[in-house]
Amino acid sequence: MLPEVATNILKASSIRLFATNAARATSQTAVNRMASVTERKKKPTEEAHINFKNAYRDDSKFGKRPIYLDMQATTPVDPRVLDKMLPFLTGLYGNPHSSTHSYGWETDKEVEKARKNVADVINADPREIIFTSGATECNNTAIKGVARFYGKTKHHIITTQTEHKCVLDSCRHLQDEGFEVTYLPVGTDGLIDLEELEKAIRKDTCLVSVMAVNNEIGVMQPIEEIGRICKKHKVFFHTDCAQAYGKIPLDVNKMNIDLMSISSHKIYGPMGIGALYVRRRPRVRLEPLINGGGQERGLRSGTLAPPLVCGFGEAARLIREEFDDDQAYIGKLSSKLTNSLLSLPYTQFNGSKEHHFAGCVNVSFAYVEGESLLMALKDVALSSGSACTSASLEPSYVLHALGADDALAHSSIRFGIGRFTTEAEIDYVISAIKERVTFLRELSPLYEMVQEGIDLSTIQWAGH
């Protein structure tokens, strides 16, 4: 497409003409893709059966690729989001902070519409939404920002052992600056104990930071109860909602949330944009990480990127429109996948089944090494944990926190289901997993011993 665009630039007598043509052409592609997605979503399983030897997706001009079940790492951009973004990359190029002319006014108006769309999902005031580069920046800004602002009198932070690395790492940095951090443990279901949380709150606690939905196991913490406890003790409550925003009902007022981290690329919006909700009444004060022109209420300086902001806004608007449909659809696929996987012997569902977001299914397959299983499943894009830790081959610290031993943590796979996953893909993955797990277990001496009735816990392994 690029050479075509370049030729168009040369041919077009004015940039405006080029802009309209390019926008229209891509918009058409987006519409076509959307139509095929809708069709795929509706296709009954039998009709859409995928040939076992030909399981690769080919719904794009990027060649054949595996089935995508890694929705916690990122979600594909909804074509309707792309349509919304395109005019800002062509004709609507004004700086939204330019207040002296119409180029600035027109983008500013759209940015403010997007801000309202993002705010509406969580019942916030648009003035409480600060655009950032993503949830990592939000978590850093919220945790370091609150701690540093109130740090003269308050030196203590509470979080949990199963937070995303960017929360844990922000806390570690604050420990280097002299803050004390309590890392609350979780039970075997992945949930924190609310009594333990309340007991951990001290007179000098400035912040409680607990994620709403875990990115590895999908466990939902009791956010409303945590908010109530924080309010009672007059401690600020921050929640990392990168995996929760748009996926579970959230209301900052009902849940007494003071700060919330949101990421656009987890809700079918573009990468590189997120939002931090910061309560205005009672006001939460923050020390900004980035100083400069004073944009975003002085909490995050720098020129906003209207294509990203408006794409994010559209993704948020679509979330509100399609929330019930998405939930029902993802829930249906998730139940099918979970029930089928758990019908295999020696499998375990990781985390609470009751307090759980359906789009994230984490299952351990005993006597199969997770990485070997991933290698045997080249036709499915999956992860054995979060995108950042799966590269290190270390067993997941989240599963360890739930009490899993190394073997169990190593044998776990995360399945991420989203708006554009099809039932045929789920059916394929179920068959593929059954086949490959059976195959790998047949190669496993441990599995053979278990089949022979040997209790592995009684074996004295020789050290080396």
Ligand X SMILES: Cc1ncc(COP(=O)(O)O)c(C=O)c1O
Chain residues binding ligand X by CB under 6 A are 72, 134-136, 164, 166, 211, 215, 240, 242-243, 263, 274
* Residue with Cβ nearer ligand X (263 or 422): 263
**Tally of CB atoms within 10 A around 348:** 15
Contacts of residues 49-53 at CB distance under 8 Å and 24 or more positions apart, as own/partner, are 49/424, 49/427, 50/424, 50/425, 50/427, 50/428, 52/428, 52/431, 52/432
Token digits for 1? 């497409």
Cβ at position 238, least distance to ligand X in Å: 12
C-alpha 386/C-alpha 213 separation (Å) is: 13
Q: Is the sign of the CA dihedral 264, 270, 271, 275 positive or negative?
A: negative
- Shortest separation between residue 51's beta carbon and ligand X, angstroms: 33
CA neighbours closer than 13 Å in the CB half-sphere of residue 97: 10
- How many angstroms separate the CA atoms of 178 and 209, rounded? 18
Between 155 and 266, name the residue whose CB sits nearer to ligand X.
266
CB 161 → ligand X: shortest distance, Å? 14
Q: How far is the CB of 149 from ligand X (least distance, A)?
A: 22
Q: Which residue is nearest to ligand X (CB)?
A: 134
Burial of 293 (C-beta count, 10 Å sphere; 0-12/13-18/19+)? exposed
Instruction: Between 414 and 441, name the residue whose CB sits nearer to ligand X.
Output: 414
Helix axes 79-89, 306-342, angle to 10 degrees: 160
The sign one gets for the Cα dihedral 247, 251, 256, 262 is positive
Does residue 191 sit in helix, strand or coil? coil
Least distance to ligand X, CB of residue 199, Å: 25
The Cβ-side half-sphere exposure at 308, using a 13 Å CA radius, reads 16
Min separation Cβ 263 and ligand X, Å: 3
Q: In this structure, which amino acid lies at residue 223?
A: I
The smaller minimum CB distance to ligand X, of residues 227 and 274, is found at: 274
Determine the straight-line distance between the first and last CA of the chain, rounded to whole angstroms.
Answer: 58
Q: Rounded to whole angstroms, how far apart are CA atoms 352 and 266?
A: 22
When the beta carbons of 157 and 366 are compared against ligand X, the nearer one is 157
Active site residue 171: no
Q: From the CB of 200, what's the least distance to ligand X, in Å? A: 21
Q: DSSP labels for 397-409?
A: HHHHHTT--HHHH
Q: How many whole angstroms separate alpha carbon 59 and alpha carbon 65?
A: 9
Q: Which is nearer to ligand X, 1 or 388 (CB)?
A: 388
CB 401 within 8 A of CB 162: yes
Alpha-carbon distance of 157 to 143, in angstroms, equals 9
Minimal distance in Å, beta carbon 3 to ligand X? Answer: 32
Question: Measured from the CB atom, is 59 or 169 closer to ligand X?
Answer: 169
Which residue lies nearer to ligand X by CB, 366 or 413?
413
Min dist CB 162 to ligand X, Å, is 10
DSSP output for 285-345? P---SS-SS-TGGGTS-S---HHHHHHHHHHHHHHHHHHHHHHHHHHHHHHHHHHHHHTST
Nearer to ligand X, 129 or 135 (CB): 135
- Catalytic member of 206, 230, 360, 388: 388
Q: Are 306 and 92 in contact (CB under 8 A)?
A: yes
110 close to 88: Cβ distance less than 8 angstroms:
yes
Which positions are annotated as active-site residues?
A: 388
